[in-house]
Structure 1
Amino acid sequence: MTRFFAWGTLLLGCVFFALPLVGMTEFSLKMRRGVYSLDAYAVVLADPRFQATFTYSVVMALATIVFGVLLVVPTAFWVRLKLPAARPWIEFITLLPLVIPAIVVVFGYIRLYNTSSFLPLTGSVTGTNLLLMFGYATLALPYMYRAVDTGLRTIDVATLTEAAQSLGAGWVTILARVILPNVMVAVLSGAFLTFAIVIGEFTMAALLNRPAFGPFMQLLGANRAYEPAALAVIAFAITWACMALIQLATRFSRHMRVQR
Protein backbone atom coordinates (compact mmCIF):
# COMPACT_ATOMS: atom_id res chain seq x y z
CA MET A 1 0.00 0.00 0.00
CA THR A 2 2.83 2.39 0.87
CA ARG A 3 4.60 1.67 -2.41
CA PHE A 4 1.37 2.24 -4.36
CA PHE A 5 0.85 5.58 -2.61
CA ALA A 6 4.44 6.63 -3.29
CA TRP A 7 4.26 5.76 -7.00
CA GLY A 8 0.83 7.38 -7.28
CA THR A 9 2.16 10.61 -5.74
CA LEU A 10 5.14 10.59 -8.09
CA LEU A 11 2.91 10.00 -11.11
CA LEU A 12 0.54 12.78 -10.04
CA GLY A 13 3.46 15.16 -9.64
CA CYS A 14 4.85 14.27 -13.07
CA VAL A 15 1.45 14.85 -14.68
CA PHE A 16 1.04 18.15 -12.82
CA PHE A 17 4.35 19.46 -14.16
CA ALA A 18 4.24 17.83 -17.59
CA LEU A 19 0.76 18.85 -18.74
CA PRO A 20 1.45 22.62 -18.84
CA LEU A 21 4.69 21.97 -20.72
CA VAL A 22 2.95 19.72 -23.23
CA GLY A 23 0.18 22.26 -23.73
CA MET A 24 2.66 25.11 -24.17
CA THR A 25 4.73 23.11 -26.63
CA GLU A 26 1.66 22.15 -28.65
CA PHE A 27 0.50 25.77 -28.75
CA SER A 28 3.92 26.92 -29.97
CA LEU A 29 3.58 24.54 -32.95
CA LYS A 30 0.20 25.97 -34.10
CA MET A 31 1.39 29.22 -35.66
CA ARG A 32 0.42 27.87 -39.10
CA ARG A 33 -3.32 27.30 -39.01
CA GLY A 34 -4.45 23.70 -39.35
CA VAL A 35 -1.05 22.00 -39.14
CA TYR A 36 1.83 21.65 -36.72
CA SER A 37 4.93 23.58 -37.74
CA LEU A 38 8.13 25.09 -36.38
CA ASP A 39 7.31 28.54 -37.75
CA ALA A 40 7.29 30.19 -34.34
CA TYR A 41 10.71 28.75 -33.53
CA ALA A 42 12.04 29.87 -36.92
CA VAL A 43 10.77 33.41 -36.32
CA VAL A 44 12.29 33.55 -32.84
CA LEU A 45 15.66 32.14 -33.85
CA ALA A 46 15.88 34.48 -36.85
CA ASP A 47 15.06 37.56 -34.77
CA PRO A 48 18.20 39.73 -34.42
CA ARG A 49 17.06 40.73 -30.92
CA PHE A 50 17.00 37.09 -29.86
CA GLN A 51 20.51 36.55 -31.15
CA ALA A 52 21.81 39.73 -29.52
CA THR A 53 20.13 39.21 -26.13
CA PHE A 54 20.93 35.52 -25.94
CA THR A 55 24.58 36.17 -26.82
CA TYR A 56 24.75 38.92 -24.20
CA SER A 57 23.26 36.66 -21.51
CA VAL A 58 25.64 33.81 -22.40
CA VAL A 59 28.64 36.13 -22.12
CA MET A 60 27.36 37.47 -18.79
CA ALA A 61 26.75 33.91 -17.57
CA LEU A 62 30.32 32.88 -18.40
CA ALA A 63 31.71 36.00 -16.70
CA THR A 64 29.53 35.31 -13.64
CA ILE A 65 30.72 31.71 -13.48
CA VAL A 66 34.39 32.75 -13.62
CA PHE A 67 33.85 35.39 -10.93
CA GLY A 68 31.86 32.96 -8.78
CA VAL A 69 34.55 30.28 -8.97
CA LEU A 70 37.29 32.77 -8.09
CA LEU A 71 35.24 33.98 -5.14
CA VAL A 72 33.70 30.80 -3.78
CA VAL A 73 36.41 28.16 -4.17
CA PRO A 74 39.11 30.00 -2.14
CA THR A 75 36.53 31.09 0.44
CA ALA A 76 35.05 27.62 0.96
CA PHE A 77 38.55 26.10 1.02
CA TRP A 78 39.82 28.56 3.62
CA VAL A 79 36.75 28.21 5.81
CA ARG A 80 37.01 24.42 5.79
CA LEU A 81 40.77 24.45 6.41
CA LYS A 82 41.34 27.33 8.82
CA LEU A 83 37.97 28.72 10.01
CA PRO A 84 35.58 25.83 10.70
CA ALA A 85 33.90 27.86 13.45
CA ALA A 86 32.88 30.46 10.86
CA ARG A 87 31.00 27.95 8.68
CA PRO A 88 27.54 28.66 10.18
CA TRP A 89 28.00 32.38 9.55
CA ILE A 90 29.24 31.86 6.01
CA GLU A 91 26.34 29.53 5.26
CA PHE A 92 23.90 32.09 6.66
CA ILE A 93 25.39 34.84 4.48
CA THR A 94 25.25 32.68 1.36
CA LEU A 95 21.58 31.91 2.03
CA LEU A 96 20.57 35.57 2.17
CA PRO A 97 20.00 35.87 -1.62
CA LEU A 98 17.23 33.27 -1.27
CA VAL A 99 15.25 35.45 1.14
CA ILE A 100 16.14 38.94 -0.13
CA PRO A 101 14.25 39.71 -3.37
CA ALA A 102 16.32 40.53 -6.42
CA ILE A 103 14.50 43.85 -6.78
CA VAL A 104 15.78 44.91 -3.35
CA VAL A 105 19.34 43.98 -4.27
CA VAL A 106 19.28 45.82 -7.59
CA PHE A 107 17.72 48.96 -6.09
CA GLY A 108 20.46 48.91 -3.46
CA TYR A 109 23.05 48.68 -6.23
CA ILE A 110 21.47 51.59 -8.09
CA ARG A 111 21.38 53.64 -4.91
CA LEU A 112 25.01 52.95 -4.01
CA TYR A 113 26.57 53.06 -7.47
CA ASN A 114 24.62 55.74 -9.34
CA THR A 115 26.29 58.63 -11.14
CA SER A 116 26.28 60.82 -8.01
CA SER A 117 28.05 58.27 -5.80
CA PHE A 118 31.74 57.79 -5.10
CA LEU A 119 31.81 54.81 -7.50
CA PRO A 120 29.50 55.66 -10.44
CA LEU A 121 29.25 52.24 -12.07
CA THR A 122 25.89 53.01 -13.66
CA GLY A 123 27.41 55.91 -15.55
CA SER A 124 28.96 53.67 -18.22
CA VAL A 125 28.07 50.53 -20.14
CA THR A 126 31.07 48.65 -18.79
CA GLY A 127 30.31 49.67 -15.22
CA THR A 128 26.65 48.65 -15.54
CA ASN A 129 27.64 45.30 -17.01
CA LEU A 130 30.03 44.80 -14.11
CA LEU A 131 27.30 45.69 -11.64
CA LEU A 132 24.92 43.24 -13.32
CA MET A 133 27.55 40.51 -13.13
CA PHE A 134 27.91 41.12 -9.39
CA GLY A 135 24.13 40.89 -9.07
CA TYR A 136 24.04 37.61 -10.95
CA ALA A 137 26.86 36.25 -8.78
CA THR A 138 24.83 37.21 -5.70
CA LEU A 139 21.76 35.34 -6.97
CA ALA A 140 23.84 32.26 -7.79
CA LEU A 141 25.88 32.36 -4.56
CA PRO A 142 23.70 29.89 -2.56
CA TYR A 143 23.97 27.25 -5.28
CA MET A 144 27.62 27.78 -6.15
CA TYR A 145 28.77 27.80 -2.52
CA ARG A 146 26.83 24.70 -1.54
CA ALA A 147 28.01 22.81 -4.59
CA VAL A 148 31.66 23.64 -3.86
CA ASP A 149 31.29 23.00 -0.11
CA THR A 150 29.75 19.59 -0.83
CA GLY A 151 32.66 18.78 -3.13
CA LEU A 152 35.17 19.78 -0.46
CA ARG A 153 33.50 17.43 2.03
CA THR A 154 34.33 14.46 -0.18
CA ILE A 155 38.11 15.07 -0.03
CA ASP A 156 40.63 15.35 2.80
CA VAL A 157 41.45 19.03 2.42
CA ALA A 158 43.95 19.17 5.29
CA THR A 159 45.99 16.17 4.09
CA LEU A 160 46.10 17.37 0.49
CA THR A 161 47.16 20.84 1.59
CA GLU A 162 49.90 19.54 3.88
CA ALA A 163 51.21 17.23 1.16
CA ALA A 164 51.32 20.07 -1.36
CA GLN A 165 53.04 22.39 1.12
CA SER A 166 55.64 19.73 1.90
CA LEU A 167 56.51 19.75 -1.81
CA GLY A 168 56.93 23.52 -1.79
CA ALA A 169 53.63 24.57 -3.32
CA GLY A 170 52.18 27.98 -2.54
CA TRP A 171 48.53 28.77 -1.85
CA VAL A 172 47.74 29.66 -5.45
CA THR A 173 49.30 26.42 -6.69
CA ILE A 174 47.42 24.42 -4.06
CA LEU A 175 44.09 25.93 -5.08
CA ALA A 176 44.67 25.72 -8.83
CA ARG A 177 46.43 22.35 -9.13
CA VAL A 178 45.28 20.37 -6.08
CA ILE A 179 41.93 21.55 -4.73
CA LEU A 180 40.18 22.73 -7.89
CA PRO A 181 40.74 19.52 -9.92
CA ASN A 182 39.39 17.45 -7.03
CA VAL A 183 36.17 19.48 -6.78
CA MET A 184 35.75 20.11 -10.51
CA VAL A 185 32.46 18.18 -10.72
CA ALA A 186 31.03 20.25 -7.87
CA VAL A 187 32.25 23.44 -9.55
CA LEU A 188 30.63 22.36 -12.82
CA SER A 189 27.35 21.69 -11.02
CA GLY A 190 27.38 25.19 -9.57
CA ALA A 191 28.42 26.61 -12.94
CA PHE A 192 25.52 24.99 -14.82
CA LEU A 193 23.03 26.18 -12.21
CA THR A 194 24.51 29.68 -12.46
CA PHE A 195 24.15 29.55 -16.23
CA ALA A 196 20.48 28.58 -15.97
CA ILE A 197 19.81 31.38 -13.45
CA VAL A 198 21.49 34.05 -15.56
CA ILE A 199 19.75 33.03 -18.78
CA GLY A 200 16.28 33.40 -17.29
CA GLU A 201 16.84 36.34 -14.92
CA PHE A 202 14.62 39.37 -15.58
CA THR A 203 14.50 41.82 -12.67
CA MET A 204 18.11 42.94 -12.45
CA ALA A 205 18.67 43.15 -16.20
CA ALA A 206 15.45 45.11 -16.73
CA LEU A 207 16.06 47.64 -13.95
CA LEU A 208 19.66 48.15 -15.05
CA ASN A 209 18.44 48.49 -18.65
CA ARG A 210 20.71 45.83 -20.09
CA PRO A 211 19.91 43.89 -23.32
CA ALA A 212 19.57 40.50 -21.66
CA PHE A 213 17.54 37.44 -22.61
CA GLY A 214 15.06 37.69 -19.72
CA PRO A 215 13.73 41.18 -20.61
CA PHE A 216 13.52 40.12 -24.26
CA MET A 217 11.30 37.18 -23.26
CA GLN A 218 9.00 39.54 -21.34
CA LEU A 219 8.87 42.05 -24.19
CA LEU A 220 8.08 39.36 -26.74
CA GLY A 221 5.39 37.91 -24.50
CA ALA A 222 3.62 41.27 -24.34
CA ASN A 223 3.38 41.66 -28.12
CA ARG A 224 3.15 38.20 -29.71
CA ALA A 225 1.13 35.02 -29.30
CA TYR A 226 3.00 31.94 -30.53
CA GLU A 227 6.58 33.21 -30.37
CA PRO A 228 6.61 33.62 -26.53
CA ALA A 229 5.55 29.99 -26.12
CA ALA A 230 8.35 28.88 -28.45
CA LEU A 231 10.81 31.05 -26.54
CA ALA A 232 9.64 29.57 -23.23
CA VAL A 233 10.19 26.06 -24.58
CA ILE A 234 13.70 27.04 -25.71
CA ALA A 235 14.49 28.49 -22.26
CA PHE A 236 13.10 25.36 -20.60
CA ALA A 237 15.23 23.17 -22.87
CA ILE A 238 18.34 25.18 -21.95
CA THR A 239 17.63 24.71 -18.24
CA TRP A 240 17.13 20.96 -18.63
CA ALA A 241 20.26 20.72 -20.76
CA CYS A 242 22.19 22.28 -17.88
CA MET A 243 20.71 19.75 -15.46
CA ALA A 244 21.60 16.89 -17.82
CA LEU A 245 25.17 18.15 -18.07
CA ILE A 246 25.39 18.12 -14.26
CA GLN A 247 24.29 14.48 -14.23
CA LEU A 248 26.77 13.57 -16.96
CA ALA A 249 29.60 15.30 -15.14
CA THR A 250 28.71 13.49 -11.90
CA ARG A 251 28.57 10.08 -13.61
CA PHE A 252 31.84 10.75 -15.44
CA SER A 253 33.52 11.63 -12.15
CA ARG A 254 32.25 8.44 -10.50
CA HIS A 255 33.41 6.38 -13.49
CA MET A 256 36.88 7.90 -13.29
CA ARG A 257 37.09 7.18 -9.56
CA VAL A 258 36.10 3.56 -10.10
CA GLN A 259 38.79 3.16 -12.76
CA ARG A 260 41.39 4.59 -10.41
Structure 2
Amino acid sequence: MKAPRVWSWIALTLGLLYFFLPLIGTIEFSLRKRRGEYSLDAYRWVFEDPKFRETFSYSVVMALFTIVVGVLIVVPTAYWVRLKFPRLRPLVEFVTLLPLVIPPIVIVFGYIRLYNTSSFLPLTGTASGTNLLLMMGYATLSLPYMYRAVDTGLRTIDVRTLTEAAQSLGANWPTIIGRVIMPNVLVAVMSGAFLTFAIVIGEFVMAALLNRPAFGPYLQLIGANRAYEPAALAVIAFSITWICMGLIQLATLLTRHSRPPRS
Protein backbone atom coordinates (compact mmCIF):
# COMPACT_ATOMS: atom_id res chain seq x y z
CA MET A 1 0.00 0.00 0.00
CA LYS A 2 2.98 2.31 0.57
CA ALA A 3 4.31 2.18 -2.99
CA PRO A 4 1.13 3.51 -4.67
CA ARG A 5 0.96 6.25 -2.03
CA VAL A 6 4.54 7.31 -2.80
CA TRP A 7 3.82 7.44 -6.52
CA SER A 8 0.71 9.51 -5.84
CA TRP A 9 2.76 12.05 -3.88
CA ILE A 10 5.38 12.12 -6.65
CA ALA A 11 2.69 12.75 -9.29
CA LEU A 12 1.13 15.48 -7.13
CA THR A 13 4.51 17.15 -6.59
CA LEU A 14 5.35 17.08 -10.29
CA GLY A 15 1.94 18.53 -11.12
CA LEU A 16 2.37 21.35 -8.61
CA LEU A 17 5.84 22.13 -9.95
CA TYR A 18 4.51 22.10 -13.52
CA PHE A 19 1.80 24.64 -12.72
CA PHE A 20 3.45 26.83 -10.10
CA LEU A 21 7.03 27.18 -11.35
CA PRO A 22 5.95 29.21 -14.44
CA LEU A 23 3.73 31.34 -12.20
CA ILE A 24 6.58 31.98 -9.75
CA GLY A 25 8.87 32.85 -12.66
CA THR A 26 6.29 35.24 -14.08
CA ILE A 27 5.84 36.97 -10.72
CA GLU A 28 9.60 37.26 -10.25
CA PHE A 29 10.07 38.72 -13.74
CA SER A 30 7.24 41.22 -13.27
CA LEU A 31 9.08 42.67 -10.25
CA ARG A 32 12.34 43.34 -12.14
CA LYS A 33 11.42 46.51 -14.01
CA ARG A 34 13.68 48.58 -11.77
CA ARG A 35 17.26 47.49 -12.49
CA GLY A 36 19.03 45.74 -9.61
CA GLU A 37 16.06 45.51 -7.23
CA TYR A 38 12.52 44.28 -6.95
CA SER A 39 9.71 46.81 -7.31
CA LEU A 40 6.04 47.13 -8.17
CA ASP A 41 6.68 49.61 -10.99
CA ALA A 42 5.15 47.35 -13.64
CA TYR A 43 1.98 46.90 -11.60
CA ARG A 44 1.83 50.63 -10.88
CA TRP A 45 2.11 51.39 -14.58
CA VAL A 46 -0.68 48.92 -15.39
CA PHE A 47 -3.12 50.30 -12.80
CA GLU A 48 -2.37 53.88 -13.79
CA ASP A 49 -2.93 53.17 -17.47
CA PRO A 50 -6.45 54.43 -18.39
CA LYS A 51 -6.63 51.82 -21.15
CA PHE A 52 -6.39 49.06 -18.56
CA ARG A 53 -9.36 50.39 -16.62
CA GLU A 54 -11.35 51.00 -19.80
CA THR A 55 -10.75 47.62 -21.41
CA PHE A 56 -11.07 45.59 -18.23
CA SER A 57 -14.33 47.25 -17.18
CA TYR A 58 -15.68 46.78 -20.72
CA SER A 59 -14.86 43.06 -20.68
CA VAL A 60 -16.34 42.61 -17.20
CA VAL A 61 -19.62 44.21 -18.30
CA MET A 62 -19.66 42.09 -21.45
CA ALA A 63 -18.98 38.99 -19.36
CA LEU A 64 -21.91 39.74 -17.05
CA PHE A 65 -24.31 40.25 -19.95
CA THR A 66 -22.97 37.12 -21.66
CA ILE A 67 -23.55 35.08 -18.50
CA VAL A 68 -27.14 36.32 -18.24
CA VAL A 69 -27.83 35.51 -21.89
CA GLY A 70 -26.17 32.10 -21.56
CA VAL A 71 -28.22 31.19 -18.49
CA LEU A 72 -31.47 32.33 -20.12
CA ILE A 73 -30.73 30.18 -23.18
CA VAL A 74 -29.09 27.11 -21.68
CA VAL A 75 -31.06 26.41 -18.51
CA PRO A 76 -34.53 26.19 -20.14
CA THR A 77 -33.09 24.28 -23.11
CA ALA A 78 -31.27 21.69 -20.98
CA TYR A 79 -34.33 21.38 -18.73
CA TRP A 80 -36.75 20.79 -21.61
CA VAL A 81 -34.42 18.33 -23.31
CA ARG A 82 -34.06 16.29 -20.13
CA LEU A 83 -37.76 16.44 -19.25
CA LYS A 84 -39.64 16.30 -22.56
CA PHE A 85 -37.24 15.48 -25.40
CA PRO A 86 -34.55 13.06 -24.19
CA ARG A 87 -34.17 11.68 -27.72
CA LEU A 88 -32.98 15.08 -28.92
CA ARG A 89 -30.17 15.14 -26.41
CA PRO A 90 -27.47 13.80 -28.81
CA LEU A 91 -28.45 16.43 -31.38
CA VAL A 92 -28.39 19.25 -28.83
CA GLU A 93 -25.00 18.09 -27.53
CA PHE A 94 -23.67 18.05 -31.08
CA VAL A 95 -24.91 21.59 -31.70
CA THR A 96 -23.35 22.84 -28.46
CA LEU A 97 -20.02 21.31 -29.48
CA LEU A 98 -19.86 23.20 -32.77
CA PRO A 99 -18.14 26.29 -31.25
CA LEU A 100 -15.24 24.00 -30.31
CA VAL A 101 -14.95 22.75 -33.88
CA ILE A 102 -15.51 26.00 -35.78
CA PRO A 103 -12.66 28.50 -35.19
CA PRO A 104 -13.69 31.87 -33.70
CA ILE A 105 -12.23 33.68 -36.72
CA VAL A 106 -14.69 31.84 -38.97
CA ILE A 107 -17.58 32.74 -36.67
CA VAL A 108 -16.69 36.42 -36.49
CA PHE A 109 -16.19 36.70 -40.25
CA GLY A 110 -19.60 35.13 -40.70
CA TYR A 111 -21.05 37.71 -38.32
CA ILE A 112 -19.40 40.54 -40.21
CA ARG A 113 -20.66 39.15 -43.51
CA LEU A 114 -24.24 38.75 -42.30
CA TYR A 115 -24.57 41.87 -40.17
CA ASN A 116 -22.52 44.52 -41.98
CA THR A 117 -23.89 47.92 -42.93
CA SER A 118 -25.21 46.67 -46.28
CA SER A 119 -27.21 43.76 -44.83
CA PHE A 120 -30.82 43.63 -43.70
CA LEU A 121 -29.69 43.87 -40.04
CA PRO A 122 -26.72 46.29 -39.94
CA LEU A 123 -25.46 45.61 -36.42
CA THR A 124 -21.87 46.60 -37.20
CA GLY A 125 -22.98 50.10 -38.18
CA THR A 126 -23.31 51.27 -34.56
CA ALA A 127 -21.31 50.73 -31.37
CA SER A 128 -24.29 49.27 -29.50
CA GLY A 129 -25.04 46.90 -32.37
CA THR A 130 -21.42 45.74 -32.48
CA ASN A 131 -21.45 45.24 -28.72
CA LEU A 132 -24.58 43.11 -29.07
CA LEU A 133 -22.93 41.10 -31.83
CA LEU A 134 -19.81 40.58 -29.74
CA MET A 135 -21.87 39.50 -26.74
CA MET A 136 -23.69 36.90 -28.82
CA GLY A 137 -20.33 35.71 -30.12
CA TYR A 138 -19.12 35.31 -26.56
CA ALA A 139 -22.29 33.41 -25.68
CA THR A 140 -21.63 31.11 -28.62
CA LEU A 141 -18.05 30.43 -27.53
CA SER A 142 -19.13 29.67 -23.97
CA LEU A 143 -22.07 27.47 -25.01
CA PRO A 144 -20.23 24.10 -24.74
CA TYR A 145 -19.05 24.84 -21.20
CA MET A 146 -22.26 26.39 -19.94
CA TYR A 147 -24.45 23.62 -21.39
CA ARG A 148 -22.35 20.81 -19.97
CA ALA A 149 -22.16 22.43 -16.56
CA VAL A 150 -25.94 22.87 -16.41
CA ASP A 151 -26.60 19.39 -17.85
CA THR A 152 -24.33 17.86 -15.21
CA GLY A 153 -26.24 19.74 -12.52
CA LEU A 154 -29.57 18.49 -13.87
CA ARG A 155 -28.30 14.91 -13.70
CA THR A 156 -27.93 15.19 -9.94
CA ILE A 157 -31.61 16.01 -9.31
CA ASP A 158 -34.87 14.27 -10.12
CA VAL A 159 -36.21 16.75 -12.67
CA ARG A 160 -39.46 14.92 -13.34
CA THR A 161 -40.42 14.52 -9.68
CA LEU A 162 -39.65 18.17 -8.90
CA THR A 163 -41.67 19.31 -11.91
CA GLU A 164 -44.67 17.17 -11.03
CA ALA A 165 -44.57 18.35 -7.43
CA ALA A 166 -44.43 21.99 -8.50
CA GLN A 167 -47.28 21.48 -10.98
CA SER A 168 -49.40 19.84 -8.30
CA LEU A 169 -49.02 23.05 -6.29
CA GLY A 170 -50.17 25.16 -9.23
CA ALA A 171 -46.79 26.50 -10.42
CA ASN A 172 -46.44 27.58 -14.04
CA TRP A 173 -43.40 26.91 -16.22
CA PRO A 174 -41.50 30.15 -15.46
CA THR A 175 -42.02 29.53 -11.74
CA ILE A 176 -40.84 25.94 -12.04
CA ILE A 177 -37.66 26.93 -13.87
CA GLY A 178 -36.93 30.03 -11.79
CA ARG A 179 -37.86 28.86 -8.30
CA VAL A 180 -37.53 25.07 -8.42
CA ILE A 181 -34.93 24.09 -11.02
CA MET A 182 -32.54 27.06 -10.78
CA PRO A 183 -31.90 26.82 -7.00
CA ASN A 184 -31.07 23.13 -7.38
CA VAL A 185 -28.57 23.67 -10.21
CA LEU A 186 -27.19 26.97 -8.94
CA VAL A 187 -23.72 25.55 -8.28
CA ALA A 188 -23.56 24.13 -11.81
CA VAL A 189 -24.77 27.44 -13.27
CA MET A 190 -22.09 29.30 -11.34
CA SER A 191 -19.44 26.93 -12.65
CA GLY A 192 -20.56 27.66 -16.19
CA ALA A 193 -20.65 31.36 -15.37
CA PHE A 194 -17.06 31.24 -14.13
CA LEU A 195 -15.91 29.53 -17.33
CA THR A 196 -17.81 32.11 -19.37
CA PHE A 197 -16.15 34.94 -17.45
CA ALA A 198 -12.71 33.45 -18.11
CA ILE A 199 -13.46 33.07 -21.84
CA VAL A 200 -14.70 36.64 -22.21
CA ILE A 201 -11.78 38.17 -20.30
CA GLY A 202 -9.14 36.41 -22.41
CA GLU A 203 -10.85 36.32 -25.82
CA PHE A 204 -8.93 38.16 -28.54
CA VAL A 205 -10.08 37.24 -32.07
CA MET A 206 -13.69 38.43 -32.00
CA ALA A 207 -12.99 41.62 -30.07
CA ALA A 208 -10.06 42.54 -32.31
CA LEU A 209 -11.87 41.92 -35.61
CA LEU A 210 -14.98 43.74 -34.40
CA ASN A 211 -12.75 46.58 -33.18
CA ARG A 212 -14.09 46.69 -29.63
CA PRO A 213 -12.10 47.97 -26.59
CA ALA A 214 -11.87 44.61 -24.83
CA PHE A 215 -9.25 43.28 -22.45
CA GLY A 216 -7.92 40.57 -24.79
CA PRO A 217 -6.69 42.97 -27.51
CA TYR A 218 -5.23 45.18 -24.78
CA LEU A 219 -3.19 42.23 -23.47
CA GLN A 220 -1.89 41.54 -26.96
CA LEU A 221 -1.01 45.20 -27.53
CA ILE A 222 0.90 45.50 -24.26
CA GLY A 223 2.66 42.19 -24.90
CA ALA A 224 3.90 43.45 -28.25
CA ASN A 225 5.23 46.77 -26.95
CA ARG A 226 6.30 46.21 -23.34
CA ALA A 227 8.56 43.83 -21.44
CA TYR A 228 7.58 43.67 -17.77
CA GLU A 229 4.01 44.96 -17.91
CA PRO A 230 2.67 41.86 -19.75
CA ALA A 231 3.96 39.68 -16.92
CA ALA A 232 2.23 41.95 -14.40
CA LEU A 233 -0.99 41.72 -16.41
CA ALA A 234 -0.72 37.93 -16.48
CA VAL A 235 -0.35 37.86 -12.69
CA ILE A 236 -3.29 40.24 -12.28
CA ALA A 237 -5.48 38.12 -14.57
CA PHE A 238 -4.46 34.98 -12.68
CA SER A 239 -5.31 36.63 -9.36
CA ILE A 240 -8.72 37.72 -10.66
CA THR A 241 -9.39 34.15 -11.76
CA TRP A 242 -8.59 32.79 -8.32
CA ILE A 243 -10.70 35.47 -6.65
CA CYS A 244 -13.64 34.43 -8.84
CA MET A 245 -13.08 30.79 -7.87
CA GLY A 246 -13.06 31.77 -4.21
CA LEU A 247 -16.28 33.74 -4.61
CA ILE A 248 -17.90 30.75 -6.32
CA GLN A 249 -16.88 28.48 -3.44
CA LEU A 250 -18.17 31.03 -0.92
CA ALA A 251 -21.49 31.34 -2.75
CA THR A 252 -21.73 27.55 -2.93
CA LEU A 253 -21.22 27.22 0.82
CA LEU A 254 -23.73 29.98 1.55
CA THR A 255 -26.26 28.31 -0.77
CA ARG A 256 -25.87 24.97 0.96
CA HIS A 257 -26.18 26.45 4.43
CA SER A 258 -29.25 28.52 3.45
CA ARG A 259 -31.22 25.47 2.35
CA PRO A 260 -33.70 24.16 4.92
CA PRO A 261 -32.83 20.77 6.43
CA ARG A 262 -34.53 17.76 4.91
CA SER A 263 -37.02 15.97 7.05
Please say whether Structure 1 and Structure 2 have the same fold, judged by a TM-score greater than 0.5. Answer: yes
Q: Secondary structure of the equivalent of 2:170?
A: coil
What is the RMSD of the two structures over their aligned residues, measured on CA atoms?
A: 1.6
Q: Quote the offset at 1:7 in angstroms.
A: 2.3
Q: 2:217 is matched with which residue: 188, 207, 215?
A: 215
Could you say which residue in structure 2 is the equivalent of 1:11?
Answer: 13
Could you say which residue in structure 1 is the equivalent of 2:97?
Answer: 95
Quick one: distance in 2 between partners of 1:32 and 1:116?
A: 52
| TM-score under structure 1 length normalisation | 0.94
Cα shift readout 1:67-112 (whole Å, capped 9, x = no counterpart): 0010001001100110011111111111221222111111111111
Quick one: distance in 2 between partners of 1:187 and 1:74?
A: 12
Quick one: distance in 2 between partners of 1:201 and 1:163?
A: 42
Quick one: distance in 1 between partners of 2:241 and 2:100?
A: 19
Could you say which residue in structure 1 is the equivalent of 2:76?
Answer: 74
In structure 1, what residue type is equivalent to 2:138?
Answer: Y
In structure 1, what residue type is equivalent to 2:167?
Answer: Q
Quick one: distance in 2 between partners of 1:233 and 1:258?
A: 40
Off by >6 Å, runs of 4+ in structure 1 = none
Residues 77 and 152 of structure 1 are in contact (CA less than 8 Å); yes or no, is this contact kept in structure 2? yes
Quick one: distance in 1 between partners of 2:239 and 2:109?
A: 31
Cα shift readout 1:1-20 (whole Å, capped 9, x = no counterpart): 33323322222222122111
Cα shift readout 1:180-212 (whole Å, capped 9, x = no counterpart): 111111111111111111111111100110000
Q: Quote the offset at 1:245 in angstroms.
A: 3.1
Q: 1:50 is matched with which residue: 52, 62, 82?
A: 52
Q: 1:36 is matched with which residue: 35, 38, 44?
A: 38
Could you say which residue in structure 2 is the equivalent of 1:145?
Answer: 147
Quick one: distance in 2 between partners of 1:100 and 1:6?
A: 38
Quick one: distance in 2 between partners of 1:198 and 1:9?
A: 32
Give matches, 1:101-250, under 5 Å.
Answer: 101-250=103-252
Point out where structure 2 has 5 or more consecutive residues left out of the alignment: none
Residues 192 and 245 of structure 1 are in contact (CA less than 8 Å); yes or no, is this contact kept in structure 2? no
| TM-score under structure 2 length normalisation | 0.93
Identity %: 75
In structure 1, what residue type is equivalent to 2:143?
Answer: L
Quick one: distance in 1 between partners of 2:179 and 2:254?
A: 20
